[in-house]
Structure 1
């Protein structure tokens, strides 16, 4: 009986401490305040595992056509480059102010499968500034973005500019 009482007291103290921390405003939610390394690890690991589990049933294309890559470049330029940056392009002012910072996809794209990238683009990531594009864009458009993101790790600034120029010349500007 003493063991149960002690366990109940411990649970109560933990819950009460958590509620007190939430209600006190002790946790600084300002985007200008960096998270601790422990908080960063917890959030990033949770996100990685969540994406892996939720994208595991998605059947992803093994390769993409040049047309898909070009179409994806138009969408990427309009919807992604501001926050993530692009070869030879800085992030927008809004992108620079995000915390956590949107990852440089040229650096991290190879850490994700095509299915992972599709799921992230379609569903977004809570509390990161990454919006869900699934409600506003069809799956083919989202796969086109994945096709383009796959090219980023090896893309130069000149190649990125060529994609932009070709998209504009073909009249393929992003629109809703």
Structure 2
């Protein structure tokens, strides 16, 4: 009798796990999660970047970004050369995307500083100064064209 009970439990559990399938979220789910992140979970919406977008500041931001962020986001911030970017869940976002660019500078700095769990975005607090993180935000605002790994537009290149 015990053997039948356990066999039934294993069959039910196997059926439940086989029936579980992760699928791409619907447009409604994506919109809702984006709203929650922008309005509730990501802080810093009223913080202002104290550094102007000069070529020197953007370049310093690029250097800090290259040390820490390029492993997941690519040197161009748009996942170029990152083979796993689309295969992890959730996928690594292109930092040039409308969703990422719609965050305020303060929110981008907050994300760099605190990370977003459980997305896989780790916190950089303690690894970089506030100045470095603000300058990373400047680089994110002036990314080079996708795949070019060229100079950001602030240098007068072919960027945005």
Which of the five TM-score ranges fits, normalised by the shorter chain?
0.5 to 0.7
Aligned length: 134
Unaligned stretches of 5+ in structure 2? 1-15, 153-160
Tell me if the contact between 1:82 and 1:95 (Cα under 8 Å) persists in the aligned partners.
Answer: no
Judged with a 3 Å threshold, the aligned counterparts in structure 2 of structure 1 residues 74 and 46 are, in CA distance, closer, same or farther, namely: same
Residue 57 to residue 69, structure 1, CA distance change in 2 (3 Å): same
Give, in whole Å, the separation in 2 of the partners of 1:151 and 1:61.
Answer: 16
1:35 deviates by: 4.1
Higher share in helix = 1
| 1:132-175 deviations in Å (ceiling 9; x for gaps) | 111321111101100101102xx335873347xxxxxxxxxxxx
Residue number among 65, 68, 93 corresponding to 2:57 in the alignment: 68
Instruction: Look up the match of 1:129.
Output: 120
What is the RMSD of the two structures over their aligned residues, measured on CA atoms? 3.2
Where in structure 1 are there 5+ consecutive unaligned residues? 1-23, 164-176
Matched, 1:111 2:99: no
Matches of 1:110 and 1:83, distance apart in 2:
17
Q: 1:112 to 1:27 in 2, by over 3 A?
A: farther
In the superposition, the TM-score normalised over structure 1's length comes to 0.60
1:119: Cα distance to partner? 0.9
Is the Cα–Cα contact under 8 Å of residues 100 and 128 in structure 1 kept in the other structure?
A: yes
How high is the TM-score relative to the length of structure 2? 0.65
Summarize the alignment of residues 47-86 of structure 1 with structure 2, pairs less than 5 Å apart. 47-51=37-41, 54-61=43-50, 63-85=52-74, 86=76
Q: Is the 8 A contact 2:95 2:140 kept in 1?
A: yes
